[in-house]
Chain A
Amino acid sequence: MLQTEKNQTDSGTARAAREAAQALAREVADSAIYKEFEAAAVAFREDAEAQKLFREYQSAQRETQMMRSWGDSDKGSEDRFQRIEKKLIAHSTHKRYMAAQEGLLILLKDLNDYLTEKLGFDFADLTKPAGGCC
């Protein structure tokens, strides 16, 4: 095969693969699990009380981590952090968002397991962005 013909075939296959990947992603986006994830994410973003609690949680977490790293952790700030964390975990909008996220992750992992079984290699593990370890 001439090099130009081969290149055209390669780019044609790559395009077909991308289109099939998009069709697969569309099916994921059409699933009830993904729709619930989107709805839960919007509800969480638009819930002022949940957002306030989340900001308080982040701030308390930063403060506690900083104090721990200085070896200066005190019971008061640890208790405050745990109290806010408990409130956030129990908040219905946040709870819904976390459950939806968990459900979506399970779906994505199940889908990748299916692809892995059919392809003979782990699609996600191979194509995930490179990152540092821990």
Chain B
Amino acid sequence: MIDITLKEAADEFVRVLAASPVVTAFQEAKAGMESDETLPALRDQYTRLVEQFQRKQFDGTLTQQDISKLRTLNNQVSTHPASIRFVESRDKALAMLSGCNQAMGTLLGFDFAANAAPAAAC
């Protein structure tokens, strides 16, 4: 639970970031990607196909057709205009946001993001 002074400093940080065009462009691209009519379904389909792919690879039943299907879907997801907008805006925002994380780390003596991020799913 964070206290009021920490909340105020966090609010100010958010306010400054929200005033940055690169951050707002990223927020818009992320929202656009999530609300797109076709992309979420494509991504779900891709995730399911990757799971099937791994299972078949393990079973030794993987075919050339499975590989081609996965490649096609991967291509469809990565070349989707909403995906391209998301990746481009994220890369631009990342430079500024990483600078902020670095500034925090210098003061704290450890990497804020590395310690605060949710555990990675392997």
Residues of chain A within 8 A (CB-CB) of B74 are none
B41 located at the interface, meaning its Cβ lies under 8 Å from any Cβ of chain A in the complex? no
Is the beta-carbon distance between B117 and A24 smaller than 8 angstroms? Answer: no
| Smallest CB separation, B3 vs chain A (Å) | 7
**CB contact list, A35-61 vs B, under 8 A:** none
Number of B interface residues at 8 Å Cβ cutoff, please give it: 51
Interface size band for A: 35 or more
| Smallest CB separation, A20 vs chain B (Å) | 4
| Smallest CB separation, B65 vs chain A (Å) | 28
B84 located at the interface, meaning its Cβ lies under 8 Å from any Cβ of chain A in the complex? no
B90 located at the interface, meaning its Cβ lies under 8 Å from any Cβ of chain A in the complex? yes
Q: Choose from A112, A118, A126 the contact partner of B94 (Cβ within 8 Å).
A: A126
Q: A20-B16, A29-B108 are in contact. List 10 more A-B contacts (CB 8 A).
A: A13-B19, A13-B22, A14-B20, A24-B13, A25-B104, A121-B30, A122-B117, A124-B114, A124-B118, A128-B113
